[in-house]
Amino acid sequence: MRQLSPWQELPLMEEDMSQSAVAELPLQPVQSRRFLKPETQTAMLFLLPSFLGFMIFMALPILASLGLSFTNWQLISTPSFVGFQNYIKLFTVDPAFYTILRNTLFFAVEYLALNIAVSLTLAVWISSLKRGKAIFRVIFFLPTFTPTIAASVVWLLIFTPDGLADAVIRALGLGLPNFLLNPTWAMQAIILVTLWANVGYNVVMFNAALDLVPKHYLEAATIDGANAWQQFWRIRLPLISPTVFFATVMTAITSLQVFDEIFAMTRGGPGSATATLGFAIYQKGFTNFQMGYASALAWVMFVMIMALTILQFHMQRKWVHYDD
């Protein structure tokens, strides 16, 4: 005979109770059916400003940009419909597009991997501390308060030729070129700065998730002889995998949109080594006044982000564990 857990018995009990209650209760007079319950109406009222804001400042511009991507609008002239010309030009004519696409994906993949690895490592280290957890959380979270443009300007001065970074590299005898002048190393400088600026967010989130892992699981594992690595890999990581999944999705989305650091530090250079989709949209739209073309680029970025997010949701079945 199959044993039922207390949780499985509960719905049956509720069902029985509700049936008997219906049978015993006297009939109530029929009340007029209202379209929405009062509490729903109140909730809708409070949500209305946010909804209106979303419609006016998000939904409409998004739809407008889709429409504009089929025009040759140059901001100060009347747009005219050009069909798929912008998209055709992007994929078949523009010599920079595939470089921009490659740069964007390269940045996203390397930054995402480094961000998750570094933030997870730091979070595990902080959670292992007996003292000073709060201090380290604050230290790593502080850069996320700093406006990225301001921080990037400071980093630009650090990385500028003959600047602090060059002096350190020379002193350590590393033999590296100046990061901002070398097409191979420039993207590494952008990744480093972006990591510095944003890693704290995931550190705090992972740290909170790690602190919620039930202690008795780890104690049981210790009694069974599991070492620290086994405890992390077999117990803690699976238990915080929903948080890791959320962080991975959000970080992937933001990494595909990277702009501030590139705008302030390299303007897409040297050459086109750090030109990404986010920067190209700005450059085409607000410097070259090719708004239709920039809108087409924005929709390519949207499709990329959507595809990557769908892929991540699909892949999560294999590694994310929900405590149902």
Partner 1 sequence: MKVLKKTLMLAAIGGSLFATAASAEQVNLTWQMWTGSDADTKSWQHLADMVTAKYPDIKVTLTTTGWVDYWTRLPVLAASGQLADIVSMQSLRMPNFYSLLEPLNDRIAADKFDVGAFTPSIIGGMSVDKQLYGLPYDVGPWVIYYNQDALEAAGVPLPKPGWTLAEFTDAAKKLTKDGKYGFGITPQNYSVLASAWGDKYVNDSGVLDLTNPSAIAAAETVIGFAAKDKIAPLVPSGADVGNVVQGRFYSGNVAMYVDGPWSIIGMKDKVKFKVGSTTLPRGEGELTAVTAGSGFGIATTSQNKDAAWKAIQVLTSPEALAFLAEGGRALPARTASQSSWYKVAAKDITNGGEAIDYSLTHSVPYVITNNWAAVENLFNQYFPPAFAGSADAKQTMDAIQSLAQQ
Question: How many Cα atoms within 13 Å fall on the side-chain side of residue 272?
Answer: 15
Q: Which stretch binds partner 1 (CB under 8 A): 213-221, 245-253, 282-290, 299-307?
A: 282-290
266 lies in the site for partner 1, by CB under 8 A: yes
283 lies in the site for partner 1, by CB under 8 A: yes
- Between the alpha carbon of residue 60 and those of residues 135, 167, 241, the distances in Å are 43, 50, 36
CA distance 150 to 322: 40
Q: Which stretch binds partner 1 (CB under 8 A): 30-38, 54-62, 86-94, 299-307?
A: 86-94
CB of 183 to partner 1, least distance (A): 6
How far does CA 163 lie from the centroid of its chain? 32
Q: Tell which residue, 306, 292, 255, has the closest CA to residue 277.
A: 255
CB of 79 to partner 1, least distance (A): 10
Task: List the interface residues with partner 1, window 21-80 (CB under 8 A).
Answer: 75-77
Handedness of CA 242, 246, 247, 248 (dihedral sign): positive
267 lies in the site for partner 1, by CB under 8 A: yes
Q: Which stretch binds partner 1 (CB under 8 A): 30-38, 172-180, 249-257, 295-303?
A: 172-180
* φ, ψ (nearest 5 deg) of residue 81: -70, 130
- Between the alpha carbon of residue 45 and those of residues 40, 49, 54, the distances in Å are 9, 8, 15
288 lies in the site for partner 1, by CB under 8 A: yes
Interface residue with partner 1 among 49, 95, 175, 225 (CB under 8 A) is 95
> Residue-wise over 42-78: b if at least 16 C-beta within 10 A, else e?
eeeeeeeeeeeeeeeeeeeeeeebeebbbbbbeeeee
Interface residue with partner 1 among 153, 167, 311, 315 (CB under 8 A) is 153
CB-nearer residue toward partner 1: 240 or 275: 275
Contact call for residues 127 and 139 (beta carbons, < 8 A) = no
94 lies in the site for partner 1, by CB under 8 A: yes
287 lies in the site for partner 1, by CB under 8 A: yes
Query: Which residues in this chain contact partner 1 in the complex, by CB under 8 A?
Result: 75-77, 89, 93-96, 153, 156, 159-162, 177-178, 180-183, 263-272, 275, 283, 286-289
